[in-house]
Amino acid sequence: MEQLYVGIMSGTSLDGIDIALTSFSPSAQRATLMGALCMPFPTALRNDLLSLCQPGADEIHRAGIAGQQWATLAAQGVNRLLQQQGIANSQISAIGSHGQTIRHHPESSFSVQIGAPALLAELCGIDVICDFRNRDLAAGGEGAPLVPAFHAWLLTSAQHTRALVNIGGFANMTLLGEGRVSGFDSGPGNVLLDYWAQRHMGQLFDADGAWARSGQVVPRLLENMLQDPYFSRGAPKSTGREYFHPAWLEQRLSRRQDKPVDVQATLLELTARTIVDALASCQPPAEEVYICGGGVRNGWLMERLQQLLAPRSIHSTAVLDVDPDWMEAIAFAWLAWRCTSRQSGNLPAVTGARGERILGAIYPA
């Protein structure tokens, strides 16, 4: 029987809260997106969340307040989406809420997502499942990426080896083939590009990669960045704003001032190169490459990936019938279903955990 779940993801780009109403037909291994919306962050909340990603004064209090504001915005979105779809809140089995990552430290076995799940349950009258990463971390895993398990469930092909590449703030990939699944974070996706575009263009991102396209890659800067040991480390691995932050970039810029437009071109090349190098490190090689996440809208990044991966062609996950904007939110609806049906949500081959674990904490309605 079809079951309805709501998945909520607000990722590292801090652009807003993605909410997806999803129907699961577990016996047929099918997930159907019934409707989705994004609640953009008001600037003040975005800035508060961004500042919580780095150590700072009074952060426990600030995290408490920001978590409640996050839950209030998410609840508005859930209630609006269900109303639009003509679905009563009581018809939803559960909400899977990722929350907002403000710290991710797999080397210290913890990851912090805020998002006041009790308040979200109160405002929606729906069971809320949250804190998906810490059980995997407790079992010795990275706690990320989690979406590869959903990719494997939904998108495994008997004919071809496939790569699914999510390009959000960070880039992560899943390799499916020959009965094996692997996956890891390859490094920065849009996070450094966004930072540089905000600083020099006053815009949240470089639309279509047009500014990066007009610059020249600075070979010395590119090589310097590519030498960061994160890129050559083997999986399992995951990363975040704790590691690839503005200071990481600033430390690598030359004192004799590279032109901002050339730095943007180089950052885009870094994203493209590290994704392609990460794909090349995987066995068996992916015959098909599909892209999701906001990076799919960056025309220049897509062109560079296409050039570097030729003769293979890359496609949006839309051709697999999964809207690239909502992949992660749907995955958290799936993780909620896995939790309520007491099935594991992690893949030890991806996260490095000692075994499969049921992920999530339940806040009943």
The residues that touch ligand ATP, with contacts defined as CB under 6 A, are 11-13, 15, 166, 168-170, 189-190, 194, 205, 207-209, 293-295, 297-298, 328
Residue 190 partner contact from ligand AH0, ligand ATP, none using kind-dependent CB cut-offs of 5 to 8 Å: ligand ATP
The interface region with ligand AH0, picked from 77-85, 163-171, 268-276, 311-319 by CB under 6 A, is 163-171
Q: Choose the one of ligand AH0, ligand ATP, none that binds residue 240, judging by a C-beta under 5 to 8 angstroms depending on kind.
A: ligand AH0
Say how many residues touch ligand AH0, by CB under 6 A: 17
Per the annotation, does 228 bind a ligand?
no
What residues between 220 and 249 interact with ligand AH0 by CB under 6 A?
238, 240
Rounded to a whole number of angstroms, the minimum distance from the CB of residue 274 to ligand ATP is 14
What is the distance between the alpha carbons of residues 9 and 16, in angstroms, rounded to a whole number?
9
| Residue 145 in the binding site for ligand AH0 (CB under 6 A) | yes
16 is in an annotated binding site: yes
Asked if 146 touches ligand AH0 (CB under 6 A), the answer is yes
Which partner from the list ligand ATP, ligand AH0, none does 238 bind, CB cut-off 5 to 8 Å by kind? ligand AH0
* Residue 208, binding choice from ligand ATP, ligand AH0, none, Cβ under 5 to 8 Å by partner class: ligand ATP
Judge residue 125's burial from the number of C-beta atoms within 10 Å of its C-beta, 0-12 exposed, 13-18 middle, 19 or more buried: middle
Q: Tokens 């109403």 correspond to what residue?
A: 21
Using CB under 6 A, which of 168, 236, 295, 324 touches ligand AH0?
168
Looking at the Cβ atoms of 15 and 127, the one nearer to ligand ATP is: 15
Residue 207 interface partner, choices ligand AH0, ligand ATP, none, CB cut-off 5-8 Å depending on type: ligand ATP
Q: Rule CB under 6 A: which residues touch ligand AH0?
A: 11-12, 101, 104, 111, 144-147, 168-170, 172, 185, 238, 240, 328
Q: Residue ranges for the binding site?
A: 11-18
Q: Residue ranges for the binding site for ATP?
A: 11-18
